[in-house]
Amino acid sequence: MEGIAWDWQSVDGAMVKAPLAVECVGANPTDRGKKGRKRSLLVDGRGVPLSLVGSGANVHDVKLLAATLDGVVSARPTPSGRRPQHLCADAGNKGALAKKSAQARGYQPLIQQRREEAEAKKNQPGYRARRWVVERTHSWLNRYRKLLVSFEKTEEGYVALLTLAAAMICWRQTIVIYGYALSSAVKRILRGHQDDRVAATGQGKGLCEAAGGGGTGTGAGLRG
């Protein structure tokens, strides 16, 4: 897809409740062991979803990393020295296994805790925090009530809803990617409609004046 910001990608997981699930479900360690699901999400530098993987809430993020990186739905360009591709992740993906998985796929991993990212932003001039975009996309997904609490029993139903929501987010983000071109096109269309309206108004005014002139003459003749 044209316009994808491949240079800085981010990956993160999020857990939701799944009280009725019978597949793709596990004990949620943050919800007293109740049924839950996890989604592992990869986004580009603008937060556009590139890959989604569903699992039980008891599966660690690092075990989903390889499947998430391999599940990119768009043709990913080959990283190069001039155009490297970085992968931002939190402490859930720390360790040799995650680093090896990222490097094997051509990524330059940048795995930091939030504290480390905050310190780098404070102490390094020009440093930009980049991982927040994946958390924002998770927040967008949670705005869909069918995803905030997952009532789908099967894995297929859960993944289908995730894919649909991700597609809607991609569509809305095209305004960001192609915003200038879209705004220029809309302006041209509106300007064209305005010109047509002015022309139509001018023609209508001319017809009214012609009709009014004839009516005046006729009335004058009748009055005379």
Look at residue 40 and tell me if it is in a domain. Answer: yes
Angle at 167 between CA 165 and CA 169, to 5 degrees: 70
Look at residue 143 and tell me if it is in a domain. Answer: yes
The single-letter code of the amino acid at 17 is K
Look at residue 218 and tell me if it is in a domain. Answer: yes
d(CA 224, CA 222): 5
Largest CA distance in the chain: 105
On whether both 158 and 213 belong to a single domain, the answer is no
On whether both 13 and 103 belong to a single domain, the answer is yes
On whether both 136 and 217 belong to a single domain, the answer is no
pLDDT along the chain (224 residues), means of 10: 86 96 96 96 95 96 96 93 94 91 95 80 82 94 95 96 95 70 61 65 60 48 42
How many domains does the chain contain in total? 2
Look at residue 109 and tell me if it is in a domain. Answer: yes
The helix, strand and coil proportions of the chain, stated in percent and rounded to the nearest 5, come to: 50, 20, 30
DSSP string, 61-114: HHHHHHHHHHT--S-PPPP-SSS-EEEEE-GGG-SHHHHHHHHHTTEEEEE--H
Domain limit, last residue, from 140, 161, 177: 177
Look at residue 140 and tell me if it is in a domain. Answer: yes
d(CA 21, CA 141): 19
On whether both 107 and 210 belong to a single domain, the answer is no
On whether both 221 and 113 belong to a single domain, the answer is no
Predicted local distance difference test score (pLDDT) of residue 26:
96
On whether both 83 and 101 belong to a single domain, the answer is yes
Look at residue 2 and tell me if it is in a domain. Answer: no
CATH for 166: 3.30.420.10
Nearest to 90 by CA among 196, 160, 177, 10: 10
Look at residue 1 and tell me if it is in a domain. Answer: no
On whether both 17 and 104 belong to a single domain, the answer is yes
pTM of the entire predicted model: 0.77
- The neighbour count for residue 10, using CB atoms within 10 Å, is 25
On whether both 77 and 118 belong to a single domain, the answer is yes
On whether both 15 and 118 belong to a single domain, the answer is yes
Evaluate whether 78 touches 106 at the Cβ level (below 8 Å). Answer: yes
On whether both 38 and 129 belong to a single domain, the answer is yes
On whether both 25 and 78 belong to a single domain, the answer is yes
Query: Containing H/E element for 54?
Result: strand 49-56
On whether both 167 and 194 belong to a single domain, the answer is no
Q: Name the residue range of residue 217's domain.
A: 185-224
